[in-house]
Structure 1
Amino acid sequence: MFIAVADTITLEDANNFREFHVAIDGDVAAAVAAFRDRSAASERANHLWIDIAFVRDLAGDAADAEWQAQFEGMLAYANSKGWIDEPANRVEAHIQPPG
């Protein structure tokens, strides 16, 4: 799955739990600002910390019980790699630049 940032912010390929990134169409700084308080800068270049509840919100009706279980599995894997900030409830995502 990935978060697409263009005129709006949407969750795409929501049932792909094997990857997670942010795809930005346009200026990266402006797109990151669109997240407001739902993201934070990472200490690693080209990465953002994304609010986990925001990802669930973006999933909307797709977030049924099966989706939630698979999403939790994805988060458990991310946690094993150090890509979860538990106190802030955020998951780290690579920024895929335009082009």
Structure 2
Amino acid sequence: MYLTIADDGVTLHDPERVNDFYASYRQRLTPARLHEVMVEHAGGELLPDGNHVMVPVETLRRLAAGQVDEGWDHKFAGMLSYAQDKGWMSEDGTAVRAHLEREM
């Protein structure tokens, strides 16, 4: 699954594919604007390294609603458990880290 970040908001794509998670944005977005859009749309935040974002778990659930089958929650929980084991979750477990890729 991946999150796209654009001037008009954040969108979740391929939510059924829980074995791969990343975020992408259009080249024209500056880091400041990227962070602003994410905050405005409850999409999370840009991390200081500029290469990752932290995305709230509840945002992913909200964006996946209506796109996934009833077994998705179980698969998603497995993804979050794997992310926790790798150190890719926030300390309180409410957000997951995603690598940020720039679209050309």
Global fold match (TM > 0.5): yes
3-state SS, counterpart of residue 53 of structure 1: helix
Matched, 1:24 2:4: no
Are 2:62 and 1:61 aligned?
Answer: no
In structure 1, runs of 5+ residues without a counterpart are none
Distance between the aligned counterparts of 1:94 and 1:81, measured in 2?
13
| 1:50 match | 55
Compared with structure 1, are the counterparts of its residues 41 and 65 closer, same or farther at alpha carbon in structure 2 (3 Å cutoff)? same
Q: 1:65 Cα deviation (Å)?
A: 2.9
Identity of counterpart residues, as a percentage? Answer: 27
Query: Which range moves more in the overlay, 10-19 or 34-43?
Result: 34-43
Distance in 2 separating the partners of 1:11 and 1:32: 17
1:44 Cα deviation after fit = 4.2
Structure number with the higher helix fraction is 1
Partners of 2:71 and 2:77 lie apart in 1 by 10
Structure-2 change in CA distance of 1:67 and 1:88 (3 Å): closer
2: CA distance, partners of 1:86 / 1:66: 27
TM-score calculated relative to the size of structure 2: 0.82
Q: How far apart, CA to CA, are the structure 1 residues paired with 2:56 and 2:22?
A: 13
Deviating above 6 A after TM superposition, structure 1's stretches of 4 or more consecutive aligned residues are none
Structure 1: distance between partners of 2:69 and 2:91:
23
Change (3 A) 1:28 1:70: farther
CA RMSD of aligned residues (A): 1.9
Q: Deviation string for 1:24-76 (max 9, x for gaps)?
A: 02314223311115413435440011111001111121244311111111111
The alignment status of 1:96 with 2:101, answered yes or no, reads yes
